[in-house]
Structures are given as structure tokens and as C-alpha cells.
């Protein structure tokens, strides 16, 4: 299997954006970070995601909140129709309910049978 230069550069850029986002969140004062609500959603629809994001998740076989929370950011970047902007929307919607994506690495996600 050969890896193209453009593919590698895209992956490095995605990783850099993720690192920058994590640094920004770590530097944010606690008062500015989203506060979780007491009510937990029961479905993806309850998150109020934009239609494009919801459809991309559905098309990738991610149809439940539990399945979404098993996914990592690097893994979701491989889902057609999802980019960093969509993932930020997902993270914010989950954070409003005190939930988060998995922190598993991309390799761990793939080996556990993540839908792509």
C-alpha cells in the first residue's frame, strides 16, 4: 500500500488543526467553556445537529448516540461529508449535554470496527 504525498499532508493538517483546537480549549478559562445541561439526549436527533452532519453520520452507519460517542475525532475525519467544522459542531452539541467523543486513537477506532 502506497501513501500519496497529498494524503499525508492532508492528514498532517488535520492533526495540526486538532492539536490547535485542543490547545485553545485548554487555554480557555473554565467560565467560557460550555456548561453541561442536566438532561441527556436519547438520540442523535435530540442533539439538534445540522442535516448535513446528521446525514453523513447516518450514511456512515452511526445511527445512535452511543455509537457516536465511541468514535474518535481522527476516525470521524475519515467519514465522507465530515470535516473539522462538522466535528466542532458535534463536539459542541455533545458538550452541551456533558458528553464527548472517544479519545481513542484512529488506529484503535479502526481495530474496534468503527464504521467508515
Across the range 65-86, mean pLDDT stands at: 94
Where are the domains positioned within the chain?
A: 40-111
> pLDDT by residue (tens digit) across 36-52?
555 677 788 888 999 99
Neighbours of 53 (CB within 10 A): 20
Measured CA to CA, the distance from residue 65 to residue 93 in angstroms comes to 11
What per-residue confidence (pLDDT) applies to 105? 62
Residues 6+ apart with CB under 8 A from 62: 44, 68, 71, 79, 115
Q: Give the ranges where the chain is alpha helix by DSSP (H).
A: 5-27, 51-59, 65-69, 73-76, 84-95, 106-111
What average pLDDT does this structure show over 85-97? 92
CATH of 40-111, one of 1.25.40.10, 3.30.230.70, 1.10.150.20, 3.30.1540.20: 1.10.150.20
Helix 5-27 vs helix 84-95: crossing angle, to nearest 10: 30
Please state the rounded mean pLDDT for residues 72-90: 94
Looking from the CA of 47 toward its CB, the CA atoms found within 13 Å total: 26
Rounded to the nearest integer, the mean pLDDT of the chain is 80
CB 43 within 8 A of CB 65: yes
As a whole number, mean pLDDT of residues 70-77 equals 94
Calpha distance 15→116 (Å, rounded): 18
User: Is pLDDT larger for residue 56 or for residue 5?
Assistant: 56
> What is this structure's pTM?
0.58
Q: What pLDDT sits at residue 19?
A: 83
Amino acid at each position: 500500500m502506497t501513501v500519496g504525498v497529498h494524503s499525508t499532508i492532508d492528514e498532517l493538517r488535520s492533526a495540526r488543526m486538532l492539536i490547535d483546537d485542543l490547545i485553545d480549549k485548554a487555554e480557555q478559562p473554565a467560565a467560557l467553556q460550555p456548561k453541561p445541561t442536566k438532561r441527556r439526549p436519547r438520540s442523535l436527533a435530540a442533539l439538534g445537529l445540522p442535516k448535513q452532519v446528521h446525514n453523513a453520520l447516518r450514511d456512515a452507519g452511526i445511527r445512535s448516540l452511543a455509537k457516536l460517542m465511541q468514535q474518535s475525532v481522527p476516525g470521524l475525519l475519515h467519514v465522507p461529508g465530515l470535516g473539522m467544522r462538522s466535528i466542532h459542531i458535534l463536539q459542541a452539541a455533545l458538550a452541551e449535554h456533558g458528553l464527548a467523543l472517544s479519545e481513542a486513537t484512529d488506529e484503535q477506532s479502526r481495530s474496534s470496527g468503527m464504521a467508515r
